[in-house]
Amino acid sequence: MSRSVQAFAYARPSALVAGDGRTALGLETAGGTTPLGAEAHPGFFAGFLTSPQAAARGLLAVADVASARYHQRTLRSSLDPVVTGNGDRLRFESFSGCCGVYARLDVLREGLDGADTGHGTTNVDVNNPLRDALSRLAGDEPMHLRVGPDELAVTALDGPVVEKKVPLPDRWLRGFAESQVVSAGFEQRAELSAAEAVRFLRALPRSSGPGAGRGPMWVVPAGRPLRPTTRPAAGAVCLPGPERLAALQRVLRHATALRVYGPPGAVDGAAAASAWEVALPGMRLTLTLSPDAARGFSGEGGVLEALATDEAAADAELVSVLLAWEPRIDPAELAEQSGLSTARVRAALVRLGTAGRVGYDIADAAYFHRELPYEAGRAERHNPRLVAARALVARDAVALGAGGVAHVRSGELRYQVRTSPGGVLSCTCPWWAEYRGRRGPCKHALATRIARGSQAGSAGLGGTAPAAADAAPTSGAVR
């Protein structure tokens, strides 16, 4: 697994301080990006929280996910959560170390009592003493929230006094991008009242148990409640690894509703991702689960089509200058501003997501602008299937033929790639036979897409495709 090391430099540790009849929560920021460019310690908010306990426990839930590994639990993660100011809200995000759970706490305008939030993205220090203090918080006395250094800290700052260095695997960045693509296809499938949500979540298993490997768990709406089942049925939503919802236990006493999101359409029995949103006073906490506890989002392949085309790369450059830190990005509006089709704008947003520059809010059914601290192009360079596909093209292993058919040599084997009327590529390799596109294209389909793009670029629209190579038997492929 490719890794780099991210250094988080904070002016001082984040802290919760009580006194004078109120509590003050100071969240310290590391280097981040704002409309003015890179800043060492950006400030996004100074004001009061309307529901202090709910906000404290929601922040703890996001920190729980950031420090958890739900698969191979002997290893731990230590990535600090990310905060984004979008003008009307604060978004706190994290990803589990195993890449299987994405968490986000949205503190909305009605949850904040103060000036509008700033714009930008940075990491926030959530240290163990702060976690302990937030866990002990009782009562609902006024809480002042400061995200970023106060004026005194700015004037006295002569260098970082707190520094954390943590490894950032490339698959974490791919996980952020893939979870966005997956959730963009979700729709709301169920909603429970506060009491029903508490009963349902508290009844879930806290550990995977001896039979965890037998298959995913499903839930079916049965009137208002949700009924767990081991078999998918009409209207069922997959709950893969129910123990991964443990972080929601933090906020149950403040919950006003539970909303469940998943992919639409018929259930075919295959495990699927899902999202679980707890509504809180003035905020919402959402956990998005990968299709299996042992299967991180990083391998889902939903971004590969966008990464494989030069058109999406050029479109992403154009769309990126129009984002403007908006809390709700409308692809149709971007299409009008950019002159691109809505479909091309959506592909550009997917590509920008691989650089951590946009996320997706299921509740709003809209993208939002943020800037994660990743180097642009990093996910593309280190994606195994994309790297393998480009290697196939470089070795002239792709023979394009008429009728939307291509033949790809992979080692001593050849695979046939066909184009459906809807433009979807299918392949005769074992990867396609097993997943049928549920985890994105195989490397042979990607190589075909890249080769066709190169041919169109060099020969123009009137170019003639080379003759197809002879087909060969299908067997043992490496994805």
CATH number of domain containing 375: 1.10.10.10
Q: Are residues 274 and 417 in the same domain?
A: no
Q: Dump pLDDT digits (tens) for 46-91.
A: 999 999 999 999 999 999 998 888 876 545 555 788 999 999 999 9
Q: What is the pLDDT of residue 476?
A: 33
Same structural domain for residues 387 and 273?
no
Q: Comparing 340 with 178, which gets the higher pLDDT?
A: 340
In a shared domain, residues 9 and 112 = yes
The token duo for 149 is 């250094």
Q: Collect all residues with Cβ–Cβ distance below 8 Å to 357 and sequence separation of at least 6.
A: 320, 323, 369, 370, 371, 372
Interatomic CA distance for residues 346 and 181, integer angstroms: 10
Average pLDDT, stretch 219-245?
85
CA 108, CA 327: separation in Å to the nearest integer?
Answer: 10
* 41 located within any domain: yes
Q: What is the pLDDT of residue 290?
A: 92
Highest mean pLDDT among 55-59, 95-99, 129-133, 401-405: 55-59
Structure tokens at 354: 């691989």
In a domain, 145, yes or no: yes
The reply to whether 282 and 245 lie within a common domain is yes
The answer as to whether 476 is a domain residue is no
State whether 13 and 138 are in the same domain.
yes
pLDDT on residue 208: 56
Poorest-pLDDT segment among 289-303, 321-335, 374-388, 420-434: 374-388
Final residue belonging to a domain, choices 379, 407, 434: 379
Note whether 245 and 336 are same-domain residues: no
**113 and 87 fall within a common domain:** yes
> What pLDDT sits at residue 457?
59
Task: Tell me, yes or no, whether 200 and 268 share the same domain.
Answer: yes
Diameter of the chain measured on Cα atoms: 81
Mean pLDDT within 29-52: 91
- In the predicted structure, residue 94 carries a pLDDT above the cut 80: yes
Contact by Cβ (8 Å): 158, 277 = no
Same domain, 196 and 89: no
Residue 154 has what pLDDT? 37
Q: What's the average model confidence in pLDDT over 296-306?
A: 76
Tell me whether residue 356 is in a domain. yes
Residue 434: inside a domain:
yes
Question: 354, 379, 404: which is the final residue of a domain?
Answer: 379
Same domain for 369 and 408, yes or no, is: no
Instruction: Say if residue 64 is in the same domain as residue 155.
Output: yes
* pTM (2 d.p.): 0.85
* Residues 149 and 89 reside in one and the same domain: yes
- Domain around 147: 3-98+105-168
Please indicate, yes or no, if residue 477 is contained in any of the structural domains.
no
Instruction: Please give the Cα distance from 282 to 108 (Å, whole number).
Output: 6
Arithmetic mean of pLDDT over the chain: 83
404 pLDDT tier (thresholds 50, 70, 90): confident
Q: What strand order describes the sheet that includes 226-229?
A: 226-229, 217-221, 237-239
Domain membership flag for residue 151: yes
CATH assignment of the domain containing 187: 3.10.150
Taking only the tens place, the pLDDT of each residue in 256-278 is 999 999 998 655 677 889 999 99
- What percent of the chain shows pLDDT beyond 90? 46
Number of independent structural domains in the chain: 4
139 in any annotated domain: yes
SS3 sequence, the chain? Answer: CCEEEEEEEECCCCEEEEECCEEEEEECEEEEEECCEEECCCCCEEEEECCHHHHHHHHHHHHHHHCCCCCCCCCCCCCCCEEEEECCCEEEEEECCCCCEEEEEEECHHHEEECCCCEEEEEECCCHHHHHHHHHCCCCCCEEEEECCCHHHHHHCCCCCEEEEEEEEHHHHHHHHHHHHHHCCCEEEEEEEHHHHHHHHHCCCCCCCCCHHHCCEEEEECCCCEEEECCCCCCCEEECCHHHHHHHHHHHHHCCEEEEEECCCCCCCCCCCEEEEEEECCEEEEEEECCECCECHHHCCCCHHHHCCHHHHHHHHHHHCCCCCCCCECHHHHHHHHCCCHHHHHHHHHHHHCCCCEEEECCCCEEEECCCCCCCCHHHHCCHHHHHHHHHHHCCCEEECHHHEEEEEECCEEEEEEECCCCCEEECCHHHHHHCCCCCCCHHHHHHHHHHHHHHHHHCCCCCCCCCCCCCCCCCCCC
